Amino acid sequence: MRRIYFDNNATTPLLPQVLAAMQPCFIEGFGNAGSIHQVGQRARAQVEAAREQVAALVGSRTAEIVFTSGGTEGDNLALMGLVKAGDHVIASAIEHHAVLASCQRLQEMCVEVTIVGCDANGVVQLEAVREALRPNTKLVSVMMANNETGVLQPAAEIAAIAHNANALFHTDAVQAAAKVPISVEEIGCDLLTLAAHKMNGPQGVGALYVRRGTLLQSRQLGGRHERGRRAGTENLAGIVGFGRAAELAIEWFDNGGVKQMSALRDRLEQGICRTVPGASVNGGLAARTPNTTNISFPGVEGEGFVIAMDLLGVAVSTGAACSSGATEPSHVLVAMGLTEQARGSIRFSLGKQNTAEEVDFVLEMVPGVVHKLRELSPAWAGK
């Protein structure tokens, strides 16, 4: 059976060029980048080359990139490494759980936290951030692009509001990176989280951009790796793969990737809305990443849709990968006021490997699957 993967916000396939860059690191080039002999120094040179490649993707200085084990660690480090008891933190209700759970832990550590909502399109409102500011606000954390809807947030504007109040600004750019161009200077952020596996790099590696002069306490205790900001032997193969993925992402932008990907996403989204009665796009009126569409199908249980599509060889998702299978409705859609729609909402997230032909195959399948599920739904039967 042919397999079509439309769940690229959960993770992406490794590009062959990335695998080729990583392979030598496992056997002949296996050194510890902390060792002073030649094997170690070769590894160090590779880590530093990758740091340059990742820095180029976000327009930062090389030394401002701290390698981590992925998006969750980057978010945890940004929040927990910066804030102390007595400080105040602002985050949005649509953040990934890596940020929201960090906020919860901070509250247990006597940090005050304010969670600001979003509008019906899934956009965090500047006024809400402004109103939440307090004299002791240390950090504002609002993501660049939401993982469930793809909706882009006004990160630069929020950074300016935070800075006016002498607070720092962190943005989780895990779902924005390699889909929209990022410049840490244009955003004006102090911290920015990245994860390699969302951009055709390997799983288990990521980075936190930390603006020069930002005092960050390491969360992991041990050696002085990553200039004292993240203890632990560097994940050589992962970091090399991440660097190569960053380099390829820049080429993709240069070759008009954004335009092609949005055209594919629009073809899918418009096709579904044309052929499925009642289908509507969540966050569809907002600016979004080019690969994501979140569509609500009234009268359909999201889990049932995912399973039915999977049986046809198509991988999609009900939302964040970690909450798929959970019975709780998506906190993002609930924050958008879409509590009713949340149970029947599906995220289609495209990747660089997907084709128009795959989109057309999915377009052929979706109306039938929705029709069948609606026939089985007692709530829909009377409509």
Ligand X SMILES: Cc1ncc(COP(=O)(O)O)c(C=O)c1O
Q: Which sequence positions are flagged as catalytic?
A: 322
Q: Which is nearer to ligand X, 70 or 302 (CB)?
A: 70
- CB-based burial of residue 334 (10 Å sphere; 0-12 exposed, 13-18 middle, 19+ buried)? middle
Residue 239 touching ligand X (CB under 6 A): no
291 lies in the binding site for ligand X (CB under 6 A):
no
Q: Which of these ranges, 172-180, 212-220, 283-291, 350-358, lies near ligand X under the rule CB under 6 A?
A: 172-180
Pairwise CA distance, residues 115 & 92, whole Å: 5
Nearest residue (CB) to ligand X, 93 versus 363: 93
If binding is defined by CB under 6 A, does position 230 make contact with ligand X? no
78, 98, 133, 359: residue in contact with ligand X (rule CB under 6 A)? 98
Cβ proximity of 193 and 7 under 8 Å: no
Whole-number minimum distance, CB 68 to ligand X, in Å? Answer: 9
Residue nearest to ligand X (CB): 71
Among 53, 26, 47, 38, CA closest to 227:
47
Closest CB to ligand X among residues 114, 153: 153
* Residue 344 makes contact with ligand X by CB under 6 A: no
> Using CB under 6 A as the criterion, what x/- string covers residues 178-197 for binding ligand X?
-----------------x-x
Determine, following the binding rule CB under 6 A, whether residue 96 of this chain makes contact with ligand X.
yes
- The answer to whether residue 7 forms part of the interface with ligand X (CB under 6 A) is no
**Complete DSSP assignment for 240-269:** HHHHHHHHHHHHHHHTTHHHHHHHHHHHHH
Residue 53 has which token pair? Answer: 């490649």
What is the C-alpha to C-alpha distance for residues 332 and 95, in angstroms, rounded to an integer?
8
Among 262, 260, 263, 329, CA closest to 296: 329
Q: Helix (H, G, I), strand (E, B), or coil: what is residue 280?
A: strand
Bridge partners (DSSP) of residue 192 are 171, 209
Cα–Cα distance for residue pair 342/298, rounded to 1 Å: 9
Rounded distance, CA 244 to CA 247, Å? Answer: 5
By C-alpha distance, which of 169, 171, 156 is closest to 96?
Answer: 171
CA distance 377 to 221: 53
Binders of ligand X: how many residues, by CB under 6 A? 16
User: Are 93 and 331 spatial neighbours (Cβ–Cβ below 8 Å)?
Assistant: yes
- Of the two residues 203 and 260, which places its CB atom closer to ligand X in the complex? 203
Smallest gap from residue 199 Cβ to ligand X (A): 11
Alpha-carbon span 189 to 243, nearest angstrom: 21
**Closer to ligand X at the Cβ: 118 or 370?**
118
Closer residue to ligand X (CB): 14 or 308: 14
- For ligand X, the closer CB: 75 or 269: 75
Contacts of 35 (CB under 8 A, 6+ apart): 41, 43
Residues 302-331 vs ligand X: string with x where CB under 6 A?
Answer: ------------------xx----------
Site for ligand X in 126-155 (CB under 6 A): 143, 147
Binding mask 46-85 for ligand X (x = CB under 6 A): ------------------------xxx--x----------
With binding defined as CB under 6 A, does residue 206 bind ligand X?
A: yes
Figure out which of the listed residues 87, 172, 190, 234 binds ligand X, where binding follows CB under 6 A: 172
Site residues for ligand X per CB under 6 A: 70-72, 75, 96, 98, 143, 147, 172, 174-175, 195, 197, 206, 320-321
